C-alpha cells in the first residue's frame, strides 16, 4: 500500500510505502527538516505539525505538554499509515526574518522499466526429475539394472535422445536403490545443451521426489555472499540468505587475498573459507523452507575472477602480474560435493565465465541478465565498487574494463566510513544559511559513521551550499563551529559527540574528500576512455544501467553533481540491483536463457585502462567537483 505526503509550506508531494519513516521520506523528497540525531528521537529538532491524515508515532514523551494534541510529531518517530499533510515549521533569525531553505531536486535511479531490460523467462531449468515405475527383472527379461532404468526412461520420453550417465557412484548405488524402493524411483536428469545432446542421469532417488526440485543461485562477493533458493518446479524464490565472505579474515580486498594465497596452505585455506560461507547460506535457506540440502539439485554461481579462482583453488598468482592473465576463463561444470559444498552428491555447480583478471563472471552474469547482447540500444553498464567494472555496447559489440576506484564507496579510506548497516548516515542535507545538518541514518538510530550513499549526499550538499570548493577544500572564511581545523586538515562536524553512537564527533575531512574525488574520478575517466575507444560520447548512450546493491541508495542528482555519473537525460538511467544474482536466478530457472550467456562472453572485449594513456589524462581532469571541463556537466554549471 502506498500513501501520499504533502509537505507545507514548500508544496512538495511525494508517494511512499506504508510504514515509511517520515524523516526519511522528507529527506528523499528534498525537504529540509532540522535533525541531527539520525532519527533516534533525542535531539527533538525534527518537530512537524500534522494537518491532515494520521501517522503511527511514539514521540509523545519527547514533546512538551499539549504539543501532541495540537498535531505536533517528531518526524523521525513517525511512520506514515495514511495520506497526510505535514507542515514544516519555519526557522527564524534573531531579527525575526524567516530562514529560507528551498526543497532540493532529488531523484532515485528508476527501476520503472526493468522488464524492458531483463525481459521474461520460462520455468525450464537445466535439471529435471522424472518418476518411473520400473518393471522388475525376470528370468525372461534379465537385462542389467542400468539398461532397465534407461529403457524405462526412454519409454517415458519416447521423443528424446537415448539418455546417458557419467556418475560413477551411481553404478554402485543403483542396485540397492532400485530394490529398496521396490523399483519405484525418481531420476535426476541434467538436460543436454541442445537438441543433439542427450540428457544425463546424475542420480536416482527412491520413491517419488519430483515435488522436491530446488536450485540455488549464489553471488560470491568479495565482501558479502548471497544465496537464493528457487523451487525449480514453479520458478519461485522460496528463501534467501547471505553472510560475510569468511575470507575477509585474510584481507578485505582481492589483492590481499591473492598475496595470502601464495603462503603455504594459503590457497586451500581461502577455498575452505568461501565454501564454509556457502554452506552457511545453504543451511540458512534450507532451514527457512524446511528442506534438506540434498534436495538442492543444481547450483548456479557468479563471482569476480579472483573469487572464482579461489573457490576452485586455482592459483591466482598471475592475475596480478602483467599482462594480467587468468589461469582459466571458462570454468568446468563441477561437482559441488567434491568441493565440500553441502548438497546432493550428484549436484553440479556452474560458475559464470570471466573475461579478464578484473572483469569477472559477476559482470558477465549482470550483462546477461539485462540482455545487452540482444539490444540495438547502446548501453553503459556500471558496477561501482572497490574494483569498478564498466561495459559499453549492444548486440553487435561490447567493450569492458575495470578501474580501481578504491574502497571509498564502501567506507574504506574515510575516517568515519562504514558499510551500509545500522547507524550509518545514508542521507544528508544542509541548511544553506545556518549550515546545520539534517541527518538520516540506517535504522533511525544515533549516527556512528558514513556509508557510500551518505558520503555522496554529504559531499554534494556541502558543495552546493558553498561549504566546499570544487577542489574539495573547505571554505575557511565561513565562521561556523561545525567548520573547523582538525587532525586531518579542515573538517565539517556531522554529529557532535553527545549526539553520536560512538561518543565522539563524527566528521568528514579533507583527506576523506581527496579519497572520494580520486574514486569518482577513476570511475568517470573509465567511462570516458571506454566510450572514446569506440568513437562514442555520453550523448550517444541510450541507457546507463547501474548494478550492485550500492546503486539502490544513490541519489541520481547528487551523484551527477559530484561527477560520479554522466550528466545526461535522467530517464536514460536504470537501476538493476544485484545483477550478478539476477543473472544466476534467470539461468537457474530457464536453461534456454542460460545458453545465451555464451553470446555475452563472445561479444565482450577487455581493455586494460592502466595501459591506456588517455585514461590518465581523463583521470587527472576528473579530480575536481564535478569536473575541470564544466561543459560535461551543464546541470551543475547552470
CATH number at residue 87: 3.10.20.30
The better pLDDT of the pair 553, 206 is held by 206
CA distance 410 to 406: 9
The string of pLDDT tens digits covering residues 117-136 is 888 899 999 999 999 999 99
94 pLDDT above the threshold of 80: no
For residue 622, what is the domain's CATH number?
A: 3.30.420.480
- Average pLDDT of the chain to the nearest whole number: 90
Pairing of strands 2-8, 483-486: unpaired
Cell numbers of 313, please?
A: 583453488
Pairing of strands 127-133, 184-190: antiparallel
Residue 71 lies in a domain: yes
Choose from 194-208, 243-257, 490-504 the range with maximum mean pLDDT: 490-504
**In the predicted model, is pLDDT for residue 110 greater than 60?**
no
Work out the burial of residue 360: count CB atoms within 10 Å of its CB; fewer than 13 is exposed, 13-18 middle, 19 or more buried: buried
User: Dihedral of CA 293/295/298/301: which sign?
Assistant: negative
Whole-prediction pTM value?
0.88
- pLDDT score at 100: 64
| Largest separation between any pair of C-alpha atoms in the chain | 109
Question: Helix, strand or coil for residue 507?
Answer: strand
Containing structural domain, residue 133: 127-206
- 93 and 147 inside one domain: no
Does 572 fall in a domain? no
Whether residue 256 sits in one domain with residue 174: no
Percent of the chain with pLDDT over 70: 95
pLDDT, tens digit, 9 for 90 and up, residues 7-62: 998 899 989 999 999 998 898 888 998 887 777 777 778 889 998 988 888 766 67
Looking at the structure, tell me whether residues 157 and 267 fall in a common domain: no
E-only strand ranges, 141-183? 164-165
Grid coordinates given for 290: 524446511
Question: Which backbone phi and psi does 427 adopt, to 5 degrees?
Answer: -145, 150
114, part of any domain: no
pLDDT, tens digit (0-9, with 9 covering 90-100), for 507-533: 999 999 999 999 999 999 999 999 999
Q: Is the pLDDT of residue 384 over 90?
A: no
The reply to whether 528 falls in a domain is no
Is residue 287 situated within a structural domain? yes
Q: What is the dihedral of CA 461, 467, 470, 472, to 10 degrees?
A: -90
Residue 224: pLDDT band (50, 70, 90) is confident
Q: What is the pLDDT of residue 503?
A: 93
Of 183, 206, 229, which residue constitutes the final position of a domain?
206
Which pLDDT band, with edges at 50, 70 and 90, does 554 fall under? confident
Of 79, 80, 74, which is closest to residue 61 (Cα–Cα)? 74
Q: Is 288 in the same domain as 187?
A: no
Strands (E), 81-213: 84-87, 91-92, 98-99, 127-133, 164-165, 184-190, 200-206
Which of 206, 231, 257 is the last residue before a domain boundary? 206
Asked whether the beta carbons of 458 and 507 are under 8 A apart, the reply is: no
Q: Which of 182, 206, 230 is the last residue of a domain?
A: 206
Judgement on whether residues 234 and 358 belong to the same structural domain of the protein: yes
**281-290, 508-517, 569-578 — which is least confidently predicted?**
569-578
Residue 531 lies in a domain: no
State whether 13 and 146 are in the same domain: no
Q: Is residue 557 part of a domain?
A: no
Q: Are residues 224 and 254 in the same domain?
A: yes
Q: Who contacts 290 (Cβ-Cβ below 8 Å, separation ≥6)?
A: none
Residues 360 and 428 in one domain: no
Evaluate if residue 621 carries a pLDDT over 90. yes
Q: Is the pLDDT of residue 111 over 70?
A: no
pLDDT for 113: 54
Per-residue pLDDT at 253: 83
Do 441 and 532 form a contact (C-beta atoms < 8 A)?
no
Q: Is residue 61 part of a domain?
A: yes
Return the CATH number at 148.
Answer: 3.10.20.880
**Band of the pLDDT at 71, cuts 50, 70, 90?**
confident
* Same domain for 165 and 37: no
| Total domains present in the chain | 4
Pairing of the two strands 543-547 and 379-383: parallel
pLDDT digits (tens, 9 = 90+) for 458-492: 999 999 999 999 999 999 999 999 999 998 899 99
Same domain, 496 and 434: yes
pLDDT for the residue 411: 83
What pLDDT score does 166 carry?
66
Q: How far apart are CA 188 and CA 169, in angstroms?
A: 14
- Number of H helices and number of E strands within the chain? 16, 31
Q: So what's the pLDDT on residue 9?
A: 87
Tell me the C-alpha to C-alpha distance, in Å, between residue 17 and each of 54, 217, 263: 14, 29, 51
Is residue 341 domain-shared with residue 428, that is, in the same domain? no
Beta bridge partners of 16: 3
Q: Residue range 400-429: average pLDDT?
A: 88
What average pLDDT does the segment 107-123 reach?
A: 73
Q: How confident is the model over 177-198, as a mean pLDDT? A: 87
Per-residue pLDDT for 168 more than 80? no
Section 147-169 average pLDDT: 82
Task: Say what the pLDDT of residue 540 is.
Answer: 97
**Contact at 8 Å (CB) between 445 and 39?**
yes
Rg of the Cα atoms in the chain: 28
From the list 459, 558, 430, 465, the residue with the least C-alpha distance to 518 is: 459
pLDDT for the residue numbered 414 = 93
**199 and 222 together in one domain:** no
pLDDT at 159 over 90: no
Amino acid at each position: 500500500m502506498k500513501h501520499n505526503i504533502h509537505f507545507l509550506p514548500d508544496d512538495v508531494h511525494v508517494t511512499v510505502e506504508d510504514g515509511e519513516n517520515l524523516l526519511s521520506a522528507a529527506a528523499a523528497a528534498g525537504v529540509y527538516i532540522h535533525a541531527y540525531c539520525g532519527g533516534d528521537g533525542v535531539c527533538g529538532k525534527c518537530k512537524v505539525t500534522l494537518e491532515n491524515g494520521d501517522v503511527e508515532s511514539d514521540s509523545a514523551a519527547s514533546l512538551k505538554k499539549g504539543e501532541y494534541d495540537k498535531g505536533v510529531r517528531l518526524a523521525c518517530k513517525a511512520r506514515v499509515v495514511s495520506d497526510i499533510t505535514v507542515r514544516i515549521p519555519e526557522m527564524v533569525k534573531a531579527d525575526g526574518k524567516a530562514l529560507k531553505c528551498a526543497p532540493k531536486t532529488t531523484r532515485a535511479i528508476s527501476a520503472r522499466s526493468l522488464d524492458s531490460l531483463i525481459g521474461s523467462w520460462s520455468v525450464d531449468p537445466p535439471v529435471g526429475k522424472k518418476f518411473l515405475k520400473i518393471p522388475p527383472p525376470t528370468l525372461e527379461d534379465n537385462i542389467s539394472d542400468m539398461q532397465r532404468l534407461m529403457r524405462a526412461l526412454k519409454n517415458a520420453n519416447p521423443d528424446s535422445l537415448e539418455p546417458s550417465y557419467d556418475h560413477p557412484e551411481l553404478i554402485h548405488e543403483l542396485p540397492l536403490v532400485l530394490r529398496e524402493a521396490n523399483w519405484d524411483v525418481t531420476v535426476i536428469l541434467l538436460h543436454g545443451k541442445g537438441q543433439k545432446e542427450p540428457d544425463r542421469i546424475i542420480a536416482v532417488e527412491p520413491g517419488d521426489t519430483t515435488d522436491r526440485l530446488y536450485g540455488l543461485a549464489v553471488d560470491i562477493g568479495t565482501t558479502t555472499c548471497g544465496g537464493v533458493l528457487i523451487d525449480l518446479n514453479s520458478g519461485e524464490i522460496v528463501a534467501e540468505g547471505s553472510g560475510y565472505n569468511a575470507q575477509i579474515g585474510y584481507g578485505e580486498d582481492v589483492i590481499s587475498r591473492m598475496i595470502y594465497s601464495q603462503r603455504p596452505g594459503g590457497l586451500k585455506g581461502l577455498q575452505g573459507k568461501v565454501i564454509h560461507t556457502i554452506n552457511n547460506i545453504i543451511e540458512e535457506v534450507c532451514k527457512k523452507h524446511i528442506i534438506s540440502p540434498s534436495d538442492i539439485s543444481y547450483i548456479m554461481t557468479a563471482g569476480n575472477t579472483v573469487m572464482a579462482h579461489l573457490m576452485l583453488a586455482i592459483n591466482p598468482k598471475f592475475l596480478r602480474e602483467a599482462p594480467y592473465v587468468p589461469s582459466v576463463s571458462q570454468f568446468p561444470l563441477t561437482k559441488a560435493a567434491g568441493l565440500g559444498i553441502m548438497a546432493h552428491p550428484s549436484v553440479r555447480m556452474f560458475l559464470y565465465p570471466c573475461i579478464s583478471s578484473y572483469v569477472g563472471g559477476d559482470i558477465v552474469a549482470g550483462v546477461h541478465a539485462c540482455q545487452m547482447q540482444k539490444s540495438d540500444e547502446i548501453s553503459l553498464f556500471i558496477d561501482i565498487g572497490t574494483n569498478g567494472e564498466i561495459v559499453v555496447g549492444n548486440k553487435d559489440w561490447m567493450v569492458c574494463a575495470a578501474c580501481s576506484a578504491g574502497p571509498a564507496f564502501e567506507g574504506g579510506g574515510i575516517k568515519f566510513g562504514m558499510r551500509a548497516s545500522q547507524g550509518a548516515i545514508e542521507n544528508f542535507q544542509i541548511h544553506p544559511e545556518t549550515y546545520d545538518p539534517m541527518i538520516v541514518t540506517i535504522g533511525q538510530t544515533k549516527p556512528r559513521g558514513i556509508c557510500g550513499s551518505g558520503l555522496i549526499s554529504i559531499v554534494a550538499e556541502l558543495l552546493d551550499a558553498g561549504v566546499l570548493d570544487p577542489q574539495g577544500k573547505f571554505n575557511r572564511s565561513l565562521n561556523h563551529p561545525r567548520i573547523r581545523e582538525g587532525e586531518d586538515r579542515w573538517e565539517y562536524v556531522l554529529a557532535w559527540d553527545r549526539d553520536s553512537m560512538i561518543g565522539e564527533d563524527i566528521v568528514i575531512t579533507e583527506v576523506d574528500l581527496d579519497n572520494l574525488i580520486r574514486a569518482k574520478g577513476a570511475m568517470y575517466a573509465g567511462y570516458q576512455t571506454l566510450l572514446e575507444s569506440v568513437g562514442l560520447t555520453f550523448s550517444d548512450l541510450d541507457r546507463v544501467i547501474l548494478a550492485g546493491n550500492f546503486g539502490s541508495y544513490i541519489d541520481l542528482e547528487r551523484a551527477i553533481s559530484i561527477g560520479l555519473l554522466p550528466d545526461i537525460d535522467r530517464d536514460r538511467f536504470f537501476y538493476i540491483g544485484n545483477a550478478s544474482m539476477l543473472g544466476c536466478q534467470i539461468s537457474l530457472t530457464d536453461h534456454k536463457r542460460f545458453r545465451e550467456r555464451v553470446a555475452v562472453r563472445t561479444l565482450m572485449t577487455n581493455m586494460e585502462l592502466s595501459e591506456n594513456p588517455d585514461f590518465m589524462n581523463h583521470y587527472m581532469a576528473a579530480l575536481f567537483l564535478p569536473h575541470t571541463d564544466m561543459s560535461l556537466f551543464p546541470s551543475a554549471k547552470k
